[in-house]
Amino acid sequence: MSTVNGRRVIANTNLSLDGRYDGPGAPTDMAWLRPYVVTDTARDHLTDLWKDATTALLGRVNAEGFLGFWPTIIGAEGVDPRDEAFAKWLVEADKTVLSTTLTESPWERTVIENRPAADVVRDLKAAEGGDILVPTSASVIKALLEADLVDRLALMHFPVVLGGGPALFDRPFPASQWKLVSHKTCELGAIAVVYDRVR
């Protein structure tokens, strides 16, 4: 599937069975997802999402976490090649970080935007480049779903009920129809699904 100008917005996140992307101790309560994100299914799922992307779109909190961790694993001993490949992609890709507090970027190849996510994405889609990947930045994904700007929605559902914490679909969103593109079952019971927006 391609959009009119060829640049797709791909939103990717992890969800518990009760639809939450973080536990009650968010954003530091990450123990619930650790066993699942290091599986072959999860690593292959992420690789399929970034391989055609040239831009990463992140909220500030995720940017600080991602860019504080992923570059440090490049060249480290025992790192899974798929993890290292994603880390290299993140370093080399153009990055747009949405923030109301940062005034200049502490990372290379990064633009800081203090504007609504929808406005930023419309400008990115009008520019040349590959896909625009939003990797697990829930506030950004919610804003783009509200504006109907997500072209591909990729979810990893983990067999865990968190019983608290923020939920992805925590308010009404515009009605929309989606087509299942792929689904894979992980060895630990998680399910990776990818949907394309039907327009």
Q: How confident is the chain (199 residues) per 10-residue block, as mean pLDDT? A: 70 96 79 92 96 97 92 96 97 97 92 97 96 96 97 97 93 95 94 97
What's the confidence (pLDDT) of residue 23? 87
Give the separation between CA 160 and CA 135, rounded to whole angstroms: 21
Q: Which residues lie closer than 8 Å to 113 by C-beta, 6 or more apart?
A: 96, 97, 98, 99, 120
Closest to 152 (Cα-Cα) out of 129, 131, 125, 128:
131
**H or E, element range at 15:** strand 9-15
Place of tokens 């995720």: 62
Domain covering 9-198: architecture = 3-Layer(aba) Sandwich (3.40)
What's the confidence (pLDDT) of residue 81? 97
Which pairs count as long-range contacts for 93-96, CB under 8 Å and 24+ apart, including other chains? 93/50, 93/53, 93/54, 93/55, 93/56, 94/54, 94/55, 94/56, 94/129, 95/55, 95/56, 95/57, 95/58, 95/63, 95/67, 96/55, 96/56, 96/57, 96/58, 96/120, 96/124
CA atoms within 13 A on the CB side of 195: 13
What's the confidence (pLDDT) of residue 199? 93
Whole-prediction pTM value? 0.93
Give the separation between CA 142 and CA 139, rounded to whole angstroms: 5
Give the separation between CA 124 and CA 118, rounded to whole angstroms: 10
What's the confidence (pLDDT) of residue 29? 74
Whether the CB-CB separation of 148 and 126 falls below 8 Å is answered with no
